[in-house]
Amino acid sequence: MYLPPFQSYESLRKLERSIHLRLLVQTARLYAQHYKWFPMPASVHKVLVHGSLIISAALLPIGMFSDESQECRNKDVRNFREHRCRKMSRVVTNTDLLHILLTSSDPVISSLRPSTRPKVNQEITKEMFSLLKKDCCDLDESDWSCLSEEES
């Protein structure tokens, strides 16, 4: 079970920066208070101290920058290289591959084709709901049907 700020990173929704910043500062203070004997790792420092700046500068929600999407493209790269690229030289093969990948990842072209992935229902806790921006959230506070009984 992740803490709400870290759980919200997996979300595909925009995050509310001010609330998120407050939670990150509280978490950083708790870390400093309870673990004085252990220096904060660089990765934890980046998330806790600079996380809200990254969120505000990102054009897309943080959940869209996961490794999962990059790993899914490996399968596409193998398929494109094997079936749709010319195999005359490495330069020609890589040029063809780059053009195919650019075409397949173009947002305009991607929006025209139907989605083949099933929708994933992610459980949204009350703490995580408070971190999401209200204008791009498809739930309102009265509709928490996705919460389990023990959380509500």
Contacts of 26 (CB under 8 A, 6+ apart): none
- The whole-angstrom separation of Cα 85 and Cα 21 is 47
**132 DSSP β-pair partners:** 15
pTM: 0.47
Torsion of CA 76, 77, 78, 84, to 10 degrees: 90
Question: Are the C-beta atoms of residues 129 and 137 closer than 8 Å to each other?
Answer: yes
**15 DSSP β-pair partners:** 132
Which of 27, 82, 75 is CA-nearest to residue 49?
A: 27
- The whole-angstrom separation of Cα 129 and Cα 8 is 9
pLDDT digits (tens, 9 = 90+) for 32-62: 899 989 998 998 888 888 888 887 887 777 7
pLDDT digits (tens, 9 = 90+) for 109-133: 777 777 666 665 566 676 666 666 6
Q: Above pLDDT 70, what percent of the chain? A: 65
- The whole-angstrom separation of Cα 125 and Cα 151 is 7
104's enclosing H/E stretch is helix 90-104
